Amino acid sequence: MTVFTSACPRNCYSTCSLLVHVENGKIMRIDPHPDNKATREGICLKGQSYIERVYSKERIYYPLGRNDHTKEFERISWDEAIDTISGKLKNFREEFGPQSVMFITGSGTKGLLNHVSTAFWRLFGGYTGTYGDLCWPSGLEATRLTLGDNRHSAPWDIADSKLIICWGKNPAETNIHQTNFINIAKEKGARLIVIDPRRTPTADRADLLVQPRPGTDGALALGIANLIIKSGNINRRFIDKYVLGYKKFAKAVDEYTVETVSKMTDIPVEYIEELAEYIGTMTPTTICSGFGMQRFSNSGQTMRALIALLAITGNIGKKGAGWVYANLSTHIFDRVKDPIHFFPPEKEDGIARISVSLARLGRDMLKQKDPPIKMIWVERGNPVLQVPQTPMVLEAFGGVDFRVVVDHFITDTAKQADIILPARSLFEQTDILNAYWHDYIQLQQKIIEPPKEVKPLTEVYRLLAQKLGFSKKDIKEQLPGQDESEVLDYLERRLAPFPEISLEKLKQGPVLSPCFQEIAWEDFRFKTPSGKIELFSREANQRWGVDFLPGFSEPIESVKTKGRKEYPFCLLTPNEKNSIHSQFRNLKVIRELQPEPMATLHPLDAKQKMINEGEKARIYNERGELEIRIKVDYSIKQGCVVIPNGWWFNDGAAVNLLTKGRETDMGYGTAFHDTTVQVERIGKRAKNINNSPRRSEGV
């Protein structure tokens, strides 16, 4: 048995370090790597399931083409696949220009080799691309505007907190290794507060659970700030030295009285007072804010209001204190460390046309002119399921002439393709990974050979480049192909500016980033325009048109929105433990635990709708409809319905049939949770429903 160091490349906080046991060229066991102080407690079931995933019968092992007559997928040779694709590329480039080809990615796998793809499309002469992100940008941007940078203290620092607030974050399912450090803190006497409309597994361990009406956390934070300021529990010395705009902020929050906030958020007055007492009197305090709460059209402003609570109580730059949102200390190789990365290029460079907002993918694709989109290439993503407003995405995909999808499995997106290409697994090519919670840079090592007809994407691009006649020099420098020595050479060139991280070192285990800081901002140098923590931000106003100060407004679509009486339930679509979005759900080990999707409803809502536990109900709005089994449970706030995202069409719970393509107030994020729906017992037919995912409801 040989044991290799590797790491998990999924889009997940933990980005676990692995020890992979191999015998006779086959993976036998996967263990945690002990050198990663953040993830050494163990790997999750998804990590264990790689053994099934890599050798799964359902994996795509050769190129598939759609038969013109039967419309079914059939095995085709690599020669045919490359000839057809390169022929289409040439034709579209000639007739409509290179920007008629659209390149779409998701977050299926991390790694430096992903840069090869954009290099290819630029060498092709150009492409149309997306800006913004489905995941985290409004929180990133709110943090950057307030603190100057996106980082936080080391994952284990939270073990020294006295007060931990998981605010719209559910680490017990989405960042399981963080719960280890929360448990250590709790054993030492720390208090844990969870603020979430759901009673999550994280909340099961909490001292206090507060359940706001979704989308109102901004009001809650401003109300708490008002109480802290009125009670004199602020840290005056800290504010005077490090905070910009305190006076204006204090004046602005005056109107957020506890009674007003109680009405806005649907939280009893006593709970708001208790929160203010905790935050005003306990230190060090860490707020762990997740990404779920920033999926609203008002969420950048909300996140600014949350950070303000730490600023006025002096809980930044100290051991055990701080804002734990995203830590980009390992993002040293690319522009991601600067959230500007998510923004459309301010000046067109004449090559890439970055004109489609990911949040509005379908609608923006349909709007492209001069040239219109003729072909799409999708890799590492499942946009048909994961992007809002699925009917419109399908309409846009259906409207182009030719579609290529690269994946491991025939996903709902792959089903839209003309040609599907197989993707290599994480064990079949070496790559370098960064993370967004811990500070380790890691090697994902080639440990086994890919199946005979599976080519890594780098090789696919190399073959296309040769057909398209790219120069030998460009190919050599930018498109490393399949050969491991070329891949290692490519990666080594990326490592060159960082002598402390060599491939040799990475082969042994995870390496701390040169930007690692045990305690973020302990030097109190904030990279904001004023050098201070900016409660008052000119840039927030100038770039995004929001108020200079953090503030609150109702989400654009909420149960309070005029004209939405017909859709009185707020739909939440969080992540769950045994999947990463749409990934892993097709595997046997996972399906045994979660055979089918469920929508959770509060008992009083279920009673009013005459729906019993386990019965199917229709959940719908003007954009789409789902039929789904109901779980009746007190864990969810009244007036909300919860359906985890990522279920496949065949499972009957593709939640983005119901969401609208809408951006967040800052950062070009995606406001998935600005969604209200109606719930009806099956048998009572609703009017005017669009049943077909093929058609769209318009804008």
Residues making contact with ligand MGD (CB under 6 A): 11-13, 106-109, 134-136, 167-170, 173-174, 195-198, 200, 212, 214-215, 217, 290-293, 295, 379-383, 386, 406-409, 411, 423, 572-575, 577, 579-583, 645-646, 655-656, 659, 672-673
Among 7, 44, 54, 135, the residue binding Mo ion under the rule CB under 5 A is 135
Q: Compose the 461-500 pattern: x for residues touching Mo ion by CB under 5 A, - for all others.
A: ----------------------------------------
Residues 580, 11 contacting (CB under 8 angstroms):
yes
Q: Minimum CB separation from ligand MGD for residue 125, in Å? A: 23
Q: Which residues pair with 32 in a beta bridge?
A: 18
Minimal CA–CA distance to 410: which of 421, 401, 399, 424?
421
Q: Minimum CB separation from Mo ion for residue 476, in Å? A: 35
Q: Which is nearer to Mo ion, 135 or 400 (CB)?
A: 135
Closest residue to ligand MGD, based on beta-carbon distance: 292
Q: Which is nearer to ligand MGD, 129 or 646 (CB)?
A: 646
Which span (63-71, 135-143, 206-214, 459-467) binds Mo ion, by CB under 5 A?
135-143
Pick one of Mo ion, ligand MGD, none as the site partner of residue 381 (Cβ within 5 to 8 A by kind). ligand MGD
Total residues interacting with Mo ion, rule: CB under 5 A: 1
Residues 141, 177 contacting (CB under 8 angstroms):
no
Q: Which is nearer to Mo ion, 135 or 182 (CB)?
A: 135
Q: Which is nearer to ligand MGD, 90 or 577 (CB)?
A: 577
Q: Which is nearer to ligand MGD, 108 or 148 (CB)?
A: 108
Q: Which is nearer to Mo ion, 12 or 654 (CB)?
A: 12
For residue 650, the SS3 value is helix
Pick one of ligand MGD, Mo ion, none as the site partner of residue 490 (Cβ within 5 to 8 A by kind). none
Q: Minimum CB separation from ligand MGD for residue 94, in Å? A: 27
Closest residue to Mo ion, based on beta-carbon distance: 135
Q: Minimum CB separation from ligand MGD for residue 687, in Å? A: 25
Q: Name the strands in the sheet holding 73-75, side by side, starting at the edge strand that comes first in the sequence.
A: 73-75, 64-66, 419-422, 402-407, 375-379, 101-105, 127-131, 352-357
Q: Minimum CB separation from ligand MGD for residue 200, in Å? A: 5
Residues 264, 222 contacting (CB under 8 angstroms):
no
Q: Minimum CB separation from Mo ion for residue 11, in Å? A: 6
Q: Minimum CB separation from ligand MGD for residue 209, in Å? A: 11
Residues 298, 334 contacting (CB under 8 angstroms):
no
What are the φ and ψ backbone dihedral angles of 218, each rounded to 5 degrees? Answer: -60, -45
Which span (92-100, 134-142, 241-249, 475-483) binds Mo ion, by CB under 5 A?
134-142
CA distance 249 to 228: 12
Which span (113-121, 132-140, 223-231, 458-466) binds Mo ion, by CB under 5 A?
132-140
Q: Minimum CB separation from Mo ion for residue 326, in Å? A: 10
Tokens of 353: 């046309």
Q: Minimum CB separation from Mo ion for residue 95, in Å? A: 37
Q: Which is nearer to Mo ion, 295 or 618 (CB)?
A: 295
CA distance 121 to 114: 12
For residue 26, the SS3 value is strand
Burial class (CB in 10 A: 0-12, 13-18, 19+), 115: middle
Q: Which is nearer to ligand MGD, 411 or 528 (CB)?
A: 411
Q: Which is nearer to Mo ion, 135 or 224 (CB)?
A: 135
Q: Which position has the token pair 């770039």?
A: 543
Q: Which is nearer to ligand MGD, 321 or 655 (CB)?
A: 655
Residues in 391-430 that interact with Mo ion by CB under 5 A:
none
Q: Minimum CB separation from ligand MGD for residue 644, in Å? A: 8
Cβ contacts of residue 47 below 8 Å, gap of 6+? 8, 16, 18, 30
C-alpha dist (Å) from residue 312 to 157, 222, 244, 270: 21, 12, 10, 22
CA distance 337 to 331: 5
CA distance 610 to 679: 10
In one-letter notation, the amino acid at residue 575 is N
Taking residue 568's Cβ as centre, other Cβ atoms within 10 Å add up to: 13
Tally the residues of the chain. 699
Q: Quote the DSSP letter at residue 159.
A: G
Q: Minimum CB separation from ligand MGD for residue 241, in Å? A: 30
Minimal CA–CA distance to 218: which of 269, 260, 251?
260
Residues 62, 26 contacting (CB under 8 angstroms):
no
Dihedral class, residue 628 (left if φ above 0, else alpha if ψ from -120 to 50, else beta): beta
Q: Which is nearer to Mo ion, 279 or 384 (CB)?
A: 384
Binding site for Mo ion (CB under 5 A): 135
